[in-house]
Amino acid sequence: MADTEERGPTSRAAQRRAAMLAAAQEAFLRDGYLGTNMDEIATASKVSKQTVYKHFGSKEALFVEIVTSMTVRAGDGVHDVSPDVQDAERITDYLRDYAFRQLTAVLTPQVVQVRRLVIGEAGRFPELAKALYDHGPQRALDSMTDVFAKLSAGGLLHVDDPRLAAEQFNWLIMSGPVNRAMLLGDDAIPTRAELRRHAENTARLIVAAYRPV
């Protein structure tokens, strides 16, 4: 019984925090940073404004938390799979699947919208852009660098500079689809079939460039 009682307050606090984050995310994505106020977030999450400030300190800190959590969640399903490829013929399949996971994680309306918001506020709140970069592109590049280093060490690719290969792969994956979605709106987000085809072509190009001779 004591164990249940100890877990109860923590669970309730976690539920309140989750409710505040959910309400804040909805408000920021709908109304932007300037159009969102803490009273609205408190009302939507059924807590007092003082409780919101107690948990997050400020509207700016709450926005940073939203940007960070959304970016981390988007990357969690992409960068947690180490290459377990022993057959050179399967490298293209591995890189295609990796590219497709990254594209589908980033090219959701919510993630695209938060990227637009961060770019719009980057001059005023540079820490927002840093949070997005550190947990998004930087995390992707670090993961891809490790992937190319392992594939090269195993003799499956010949990569002198894994970081450069990671940057090439990342921007071949992201540049066209993400730029169109960012600038032309959610209707410009490619279909899953289009993303899979783009991922396949990108993987084939990279494997051709780094195939051992």
- For residue 7, pLDDT over 80 is answered with no
pLDDT digits (tens, 9 = 90+) for 61-77: 898 888 888 888 888 77
Interatomic CA distance for residues 107 and 87, integer angstroms: 31
pTM of this structure: 0.80
- For residue 48, pLDDT over 60 is answered with yes
Give me the CATH code for the 60-210 domain, please. 1.10.357.10
Task: Supply the pLDDT for residue 206.
Answer: 96
Topology given in CATH for the domain delimited by 1-57: Arc Repressor Mutant, subunit A (1.10.10)
- Written as six digits, the tokens of 58 are 């400020």
In the chain, residues under CATH classification 1.10.357.10 are 60-210
Residue type, 52: V
Angle between helices 137-153 and 162-184 (to 10 degrees): 140
Nearest residue to 88 (alpha-carbon basis) of 159, 157, 144, 153: 157
- For residue 80, pLDDT over 90 is answered with no
In the chain, residues under CATH classification 1.10.10.60 are 1-57
Compute the C-alpha angle 28/79/86, nearest 5°.
Answer: 165
